[in-house]
Amino acid sequence: MAVARQEVFKRLLKIARYQPAGNHSAVKPCHRCVEALKNRRFCYKYRFYGIPSHRCIQMSPVPIRCTHRCVFCRRAHPEELGTKGEPPVPEKRDDPEYIVEESIKAHRQALSGYNPKAHPKVLPEMREEAMNPTHAAISLAGEPLLYPYIDDLVYEYRKRGFTTFIVSNGTLPRVLERMHTYPHQMYVSVTAPNERLYKIINQPIIKDGRKRYLEFLEIMHDIPTLTVMRFTLIKGLNDAPGYIKEYVKLIEIAEPTYVEVKGYSYVGYSQYRMKPENQPKMDEIREFARMLEAELGGYHIADEHEPSRIVLLTRLPYPIKLQANLKRDKMEERKRFLEDR
Ligand code: SF4
């Protein structure tokens, strides 16, 4: 049994090109992290919330376990790797402190080739910063709340001065309720306006997934941190104007700080299940966000980031910047200086 566990883990890491971080966690710098480092092109998290992309660790403590089998998921589902049912719980669960240390090491290792010698466009200051990450996006793959010490993991990152985001599929309300330390932003995915589409799009492997999701939204309403409902908009599947009223009802339960409307991307293993035409265009994402804004009381469109194909709505006057960017501004000056020479 122990061999099978490690086999599934290793095969997933290999297929997805993840770096292992301990016995069951994984890290993978997203392409925006590399783009920021090489070409100073930052992702929406920088634009909206001040998170520098090159200092962001994208990780998961449970990359191969999930309560869903979403059709749009970029990871390979265990069944697609030839495993029947949910992979068993790892024999040995790493403790949070160890995972944090291993994730920082794996992140450094993954970015080690991006240095000014190999890539002249990489600025030495940015390389230095990238080797000292300041943000953990606990969202790579799998359902992070399945890791039993998820709040301790957040605590360990926060202890080191990190900002933290967790993205959950919303099927573990009891875990959310019991957390002693919350991330700076707690996300829940929005992919289905109703039970019928929930079954088609999310393909839950638990019986009462939708009920649990609605409970999760209720609990999210009262947790003491910034909250986000993030849409994955799939053209021809969950983006019809007729669904707006149902989506608004969901948003009204949690009343999150932010609503992010993000377009589905035809990447990873989802390419075996979806079509390129399922990716909405930026204008279609904007139009959907405008319809939500018109129907929702108290929210307004605050910003957008076209390269990430995302529109932000909030009930705040403007999004809160979580990290200071003073050093970043100095780097912009240096970049202009280098370009003007
Ligand atoms: S909830 Fe997330 S990790 Fe799980 S199957 Fe869906 S997209 Fe993949």
> Would the CB of 73 count as within 6 Å of ligand 1?
yes
Q: Which atom of ligand 1 is nearest to the CA of 72?
A: 7
d(CA 169, ligand 1 centre) in Å:
7
Confidence of residue 327 (pLDDT cuts 50, 70, 90): low
Confidence of residue 88 (pLDDT cuts 50, 70, 90): low
In this structure, of 4-13, 16-25, 60-69, 153-162, the range with the lowest mean pLDDT score is 4-13
What value does the mean pLDDT of the chain take?
88
Confidence of residue 105 (pLDDT cuts 50, 70, 90): very high
More confident residue, 341 or 242: 242
> Would the CB of 37 count as within 6 Å of ligand 1?
no
Give the model's pLDDT for residue 141: 82
> Would the CB of 234 count as within 6 Å of ligand 1?
no
Give the model's pLDDT for residue 2: 47
Ligand 1, atom 7, lies closest to the CA of 73
Confidence of residue 186 (pLDDT cuts 50, 70, 90): very high
SS3 for 235-301 is CCCCCCHHHHHHHHHHHHHHCCCEEEEEECCCCHHHHHCCCHHHCCCHHHHHHHHHHHHHHCCCCEE
Q: Which of 28, 67, 68, 264 to mutate to test the pocket of ligand 1 (most atoms within 8 A of CB)?
A: 68
d(CA 324, ligand 1 centre) in Å:
32
Q: What angle do CA 239, 183, 112 make, to 5 degrees?
A: 90
For 216, the domain range is 2-340
Number of domains in the chain: 1
Q: How far apart are CA 270 and CA 265, in angstroms?
A: 9
Q: What global pTM score does this model have?
A: 0.90
pLDDT tens-digit map of 125-150: 888 888 899 999 998 888 999 999 99
> Would the CB of 45 count as within 6 Å of ligand 1?
no
Only one residue has tokens 């875990």, namely 175
> Would the CB of 74 count as within 6 Å of ligand 1?
no
Give the model's pLDDT for residue 137: 95
CATH of residue 213's domain is: 3.20.20.70
